[in-house]
Amino acid sequence: MEKESDDVSNIHNRFSLTLVNPSSHYFSLVVSLIVASVTVLATYFGYLSSLGFEENWYRLPLVLGVLVLTQLLDTRFTKKKEYSKSLHSSLFGNMLWTVTLLMGILSSVVLSKDIELFFITFGMFLFASFRIGIYTTTLGVSLKKAWAICFIQPLAMFFVLIPQNMWVSVLSEPIGLGYGISFLIIASVWSILTDRAGRPGMESTHKTIQAYLASQGNDFEDAEKLMEQRSKETKVSTSQIKLSSQMNGKEFRMVLPEIHPGPYHPVGGSNIPYLIYKNLSSSAMVMHSISDHSLNLPSRNEVENYLKNLEKSEVKEEGVQCTEPVTVQINKARVTGLLFGNNPLLFLSLSPHGMEDIPSYMKNEIEQYAKNRNYSRTMIVDCHNAMGEEISNEDGQDMLKAAKSCLDTLITKDNFPIEFGYANSDDMDVWTEDLGMGGLGIVCLKINDKKYFLGWADANNMENGVREKIIDNFAKNNYQLLEICTSDTHYAPVKARNRNGYYQLGLITGADKLSKWFLEIAKKAETTITTAKFEILENQSEVKVMGQSIYEDYSKALDNSLKITKGFVIGSLGLFITSLFL
């Protein structure tokens, strides 16, 4: 799965390109008005200084008024009628016009030559060229329609900016027309080539981009439709350890789904850990199993199918005894294990050093080793509790050694009756930008008269070192916290405008506040301790998962589009520079 991981990482790295857009349409509106004002001032103090700004001051409010009206009009031509995207595209288009005018003035000063009126026309054409590019790529407009509407805003502004008796003379400047038409053609060719960049795997790169951008506004239908079309039917398993008390009817489940949260909020199974949690009466920890993005559910329909089928889980083994936990640390790698009957449960972590998803080859090797030791079924949790890169070969080997050593040690351990207590943060005010809808949870296991705690957070990974600070705080209060795991949810309470696209747990909240919350929950869990029996549940579901090829095609399309764009930008910049010397 190394290739799949590389493709996902590549797509994830490209996410930063979406941060180019301003975060607020109000920002785009205000700045576009400021930029348009600069255009008016540059025109009358630079190019038409002989006419005097004092006699033409009224053109400033006219230009701004026309700008606002055409921004509203633009929404009628876009596929989704989105005012924010109209404002964003207007801002960048106006900036191109303004920069062209300012560069024309600068070149006349530096080269000691007369200022050339063709820069007014040239800048307007650049504005129109940008509109062709932005309308076809992100706003869902065909190339023919983009040509028909590309001049609406720039021409409307031009007609109120320039005196009527100069319209023909300025617009007919041969150099300005030549350069302007060249850039219109360049924008059109660029649009055609980037749309085809993902073929044959991806029919239209632009439609994929448009679907992604729409999903960022919670309009996820197009994105899910595209992904579901490419997904394949497969069987996925889900393991559960169910603890229940006959005394008071309390239940708790630790769930290890083979599916992976994702692909991204709010599409598909991005919030699947919380949905499983709620389906189990909010008395569960939905762990990150050894799985990757190829096992993402592509749509809400598949999520519903999976959740409905999960109710049909079968009891494979049950008992009332468990071993005390065993922890093995080899260099950075740490494995903590418990044995329920003949079924080991392992927690794998590199915290505080961190890593990406544990690769499937490690799961296969650990399971095979356990099978050779006559274990029934091995349940492996990727704690996902520190940020990092893909696991190195050295760390991977250390983790395998630690897991094998843990399995060897568990065989020698005595079994004791199980008692458990569970509590969560549902009745606490713990909303924060780095925590998902499932909040926090703690299960307390009482084994051989000793209490061991396991922590869980519905979050996408953890800030490095936060786990250690929380565990230290527990130790100071004489509580033994074995591990803290995250669900790796891809739900985002707010849109994070950073390179990751999410806030890892502890980045916003901080270790001290999390320690306080976890400790409060642990104390509540401790008060609910009761004798229990365990059941090992298994489920097989047939669902569509995204698979590996879809990420290869997306990655290829993004890379090819960026290569094409870089080439066109360099060529266009060179062509633009030549205009400064005329």
The per-residue pLDDT for range 146-168, each reduced to its tens digit, is 999 999 999 999 999 999 999 99
Range of the domain at 176: 22-215+552-579
Q: What per-residue confidence (pLDDT) applies to 549?
A: 87
- In the predicted model, is pLDDT for residue 5 greater than 60? no
The tokens describing 578, both together, are: 């030549």
My answer on whether 386 and 475 are in the same domain is: yes
> Which residue type, as a one-letter code, is found at position 436?
G
Instruction: Please tell me whether residue 299 adopts helix, strand or coil conformation.
Output: coil
Q: What per-residue confidence (pLDDT) applies to 498?
A: 78
| In a domain? residue 14 | no
> Which residue type, as a one-letter code, is found at position 69?
L
Mean per-residue pLDDT, 171-199: 96
Q: What per-residue confidence (pLDDT) applies to 518?
A: 98
The pLDDT mean for the chain works out to: 93
My answer on whether 494 and 536 are in the same domain is: yes
Q: What per-residue confidence (pLDDT) applies to 194?
A: 96
> pTM higher than 0.75, yes or no?
yes
Q: What per-residue confidence (pLDDT) applies to 526?
A: 97
Per-residue pLDDT tens for 345-393? 999 999 999 898 999 999 999 999 999 999 999 999 999 999 999 999 9
- In the predicted model, is pLDDT for residue 9 greater than 80? no
| In a domain? residue 6 | no
**Residue 22 — very low, low, confident or very high, per pLDDT cuts 50/70/90?**
confident
My answer on whether 202 and 270 are in the same domain is: no
My answer on whether 535 and 428 are in the same domain is: yes
- In the predicted model, is pLDDT for residue 7 greater than 80? no
My answer on whether 559 and 523 are in the same domain is: no
Dihedral of CA atoms 93, 97, 102, 105 in degrees, nearest 10, equals 170
> Are 222 and 214 contacting, i.e. CB atoms less than 8 angstroms apart?
yes
Q: What per-residue confidence (pLDDT) applies to 2?
A: 46
My answer on whether 338 and 448 are in the same domain is: yes
My answer on whether 492 and 352 are in the same domain is: yes
Q: What per-residue confidence (pLDDT) applies to 501?
A: 82
Angstrom distances, CA of residue 51 to CA of 47, 97, 115, 176, 510: 9, 21, 15, 21, 61
> Are 196 and 547 contacting, i.e. CB atoms less than 8 angstroms apart?
no
User: Order of strands, edge to edge, in the sheet holding 232-244?
Assistant: 284-286, 251-257, 232-244, 533-545, 314-319
**Residue 15 — very low, low, confident or very high, per pLDDT cuts 50/70/90?**
low
My answer on whether 556 and 531 are in the same domain is: no
**Closest to 276 in 3D by CA, of 287, 289, 290:** 287
- In the predicted model, is pLDDT for residue 4 greater than 60? no
| In a domain? residue 225 | no
Split into its structural domains, the chain has a count of 2
Mean per-residue pLDDT, 219-244: 94
| In a domain? residue 107 | yes
| In a domain? residue 509 | yes
Percent of the chain with pLDDT over 70: 97
My answer on whether 258 and 365 are in the same domain is: yes
My answer on whether 455 and 315 are in the same domain is: yes
Instruction: Please tell me whether residue 548 adopts helix, strand or coil conformation.
Output: coil
Length of the chain: 582
My answer on whether 495 and 572 are in the same domain is: no
